[in-house]
Amino acid sequence: MLIGIMIVFAFDYILRNARSRMMQRAALEIDVKVGQALYDKIMALPMSELESRPSAYWQALFRDVETVKNTLSGPTAILMADLPFAVLFLGLILVMATPIAWVLAVILPAFVIIRWRSAKAVGSASDSERKSGFVRDTLMSEFISGRSTVRALALDEDIKSIWEARQAETIERSMIRGKQAHKYVNLGAGLASFTTVAMTCVGALAIIDLQMTIGALIASNMLSNRIIGPFNQLVGSWRAYARFKQAVGRLSQAFALIEERKEICIAHDRTRGNISIENVRFQYAQDGVAILENVRLKVRPGGMVAIVGPNGCGKSILVKIMQGLY
């Protein structure tokens, strides 16, 4: 028996090492392929699409890649691989200790209900927490980009009050999410302890009635831990699954954006510096206000042209159109 147990431990050690290597390889492939694909996608997007969202949005997409990698190659992925074995262990308990198998048959649906409730509550709270954090990070990104203007106009205190309000909202959302997660985690842990007590009590009565042996009760308790453990972890890990689902949705939206044409099929003559613009009209949206209307301009090589106008009149947009960015 001792030799058999040692063989089982050695086999389990080999399987765990093999699984760890597989997860490391999966993490590497996700990090390289998805990260490179996202970079290429952002570089291929039109300038108007890039400018329609703050820089914090595009930075958050790379954090979403990290979320996907950690979910598909971390403990959450291992947990999903362990769940099918719970069915096997339940079958063994049915064979060895039929009188107490009904306890697990009653308890497991309770874990499923807790998981379903935690999915809705924690998922919604995590989404609200991320949105508030994104708004806060966007403010800091804009502050850093325009720090010279902020210093020149002495806007430190005004921006500080705005940042403190957004920081307070983020902390509040985080506390709400934490309360929801901890409530269901503690509920799952209590249910797991109750399962052990219930199986022991029912098993003791079955032993008195000579319906099963003490060894069967001990083995059933050991197997029940392998069944209840993954379900209990599933309740506690649902925040990771909620973040993973949200990250996949945002990445899917980003990859679905229309790219610019990468190849030009028409051969152009060598540029000599003559630029001519005729009746240029520009607006960000089809139903939006026109920023430029019937603009005409000719620029000859060797000269110098100054574009002058008030703020928001479209000077930078005109230059970008001349550069082919719009």
Residues 196, 55 within the same domain: yes
Domain contains 1: no
User: Would you give the DSSP letter of residue 258?
Assistant: P
Domain boundary among the residues 227, 255, 283 is at 255
Domain contains 294: yes
Long-range CB contacts (within 8 A, 24+) of 177-184: 177/122, 177/125, 177/126, 177/128, 177/129, 177/239, 180/118, 180/121, 180/122, 180/125, 181/118, 181/122, 181/125, 181/236, 181/238, 181/239, 184/114, 184/117, 184/118, 184/121, 184/122, 184/235, 184/236, 184/238
What gap in Å lies between CA 184 and CA 233, rounded to an integer? 11
Domain contains 27: yes
Residues 140, 283 within the same domain: no
φ/ψ (deg, to 5) at 280: -80, 135
Residues 180, 56 within the same domain: yes
Residues 219, 301 within the same domain: no
Residues 111, 195 within the same domain: yes
Domain contains 10: no
| CATH label of the domain that carries residue 203 | 1.20.1560.10
Residues 132, 241 within the same domain: yes
The residue written with tokens 């050690």 in the block is 13
Domain contains 6: no
pTM for this one? 0.61
Residues 54, 161 within the same domain: yes
Total domain count for the chain?
2
| pLDDT tens for the chain, residues 1 to 326 | 567 667 867 777 787 777 777 777 877 788 788 888 888 888 888 877 777 777 778 888 888 888 888 777 777 777 777 777 777 777 877 777 778 888 888 888 887 787 777 777 777 777 777 778 777 777 777 777 777 777 777 777 777 788 888 888 888 888 887 787 778 778 877 888 888 888 888 888 888 888 888 888 887 888 777 777 777 777 667 667 777 888 888 888 888 888 776 665 666 666 666 777 778 777 777 777 777 777 777 777 777 777 777 777 777 777 777 777 77
Residues 293, 194 within the same domain: no
Q: Which domain holds residue 297?
A: 275-322
Domain boundary among the residues 198, 224, 255 is at 255
Domain contains 264: no
